[in-house]
Each structure stands twice: as structure tokens, then as C-alpha cells.
Amino acid sequence: MLLTSTFEISGKNIVKTLGLVKGNTIRARHVGKDIMAGLRGLVGGELHEYTKLLAESREQAIDRMIEDAESMGANAIVGVSFTTSVMAQGSAELMAYGTAVITED
């Protein structure tokens, strides 16, 4: 599956637009990771625990968006974007979305 944040794909023609596709995940922080991140926050630097959690969430949302597009018969997704929202204290949703299309050379 070809993914792009642009609405055109160089060297390809979009022959059919299938519609909106999306994938999301809701994750809660882990108390052990919160403690480590809190300690790291005192001295500064990257919060590796949260970086890893966000990367895993992003991959899961992308995988679910691709499944949605494949179920529609798409071979590409254009206009891919991400959004987040807080669901409850300590948990957040990450959503990937775009437009499923069929392309040809």
C-alpha cells in the first residue's frame, strides 16, 4: 500500500477515489513509565518511554487505516494525516486518516 501526505503521487494517475479511511488506537500511560519519565523530566532530555509509546500507537493506527483501505480495494492512500485527542486523564487517542484511491502507472 502506497501512503503519502500529498494529494498526488508522482508517476501515478489516480483513476478512482474510494473515500475516507481511518485507523485509530487509544493508549493509556503505564505507571512505571510515568515514574521513569518524571525522573527524566527533572534532569531534562528526551522522554524515551513516551517516544516509544507514541511510535507504537502511530504504527497501529497506520496498520488499521491500511486494513480499512484494503477492504475498499484501494492500492494507495493520499492526504495521510494524524490527529490526537485526550480521552481521559492518562489516555489519548491517535488517529491516522486519508483518502483511499486506486492508482495506475
CA 76, 82, 83, 86 dihedral sign is positive
pLDDT given at position 35 = 60
Give how far Cα 81 sits from Cα of 21, 45, 60, 66, 91, Å: 11, 27, 14, 13, 20
Residues 6+ apart with CB under 8 A from 75: 1, 2, 101, 102, 103
The CATH fold assigned to 2-104 is: Translation Initiation Factor IF3 (3.30.110)
Residues 49-101 have pLDDT tens digits of: 778 888 999 999 999 999 999 999 999 999 999 999 988 777 889 999 999 99
* SS3 (DSSP) at 48: helix
Find the angle CA(77)-CA(80)-CA(83) to the nearest 5 degrees. Answer: 145
Entry pTM: 0.83
Sequence spans of domains, the chain: 2-104
pLDDT given at position 81 = 98
The dihedral over CA atoms of 76, 26, 28, 33, expressed in degrees to the nearest 10, equals 0
Residue type, 41: G
pLDDT given at position 15 = 98
What's the rounded Cα separation, in Å, for the pair 35 and 33? 5
Residues 3-48 have pLDDT tens digits of: 999 999 999 999 999 999 999 999 886 655 556 556 656 666 677 7
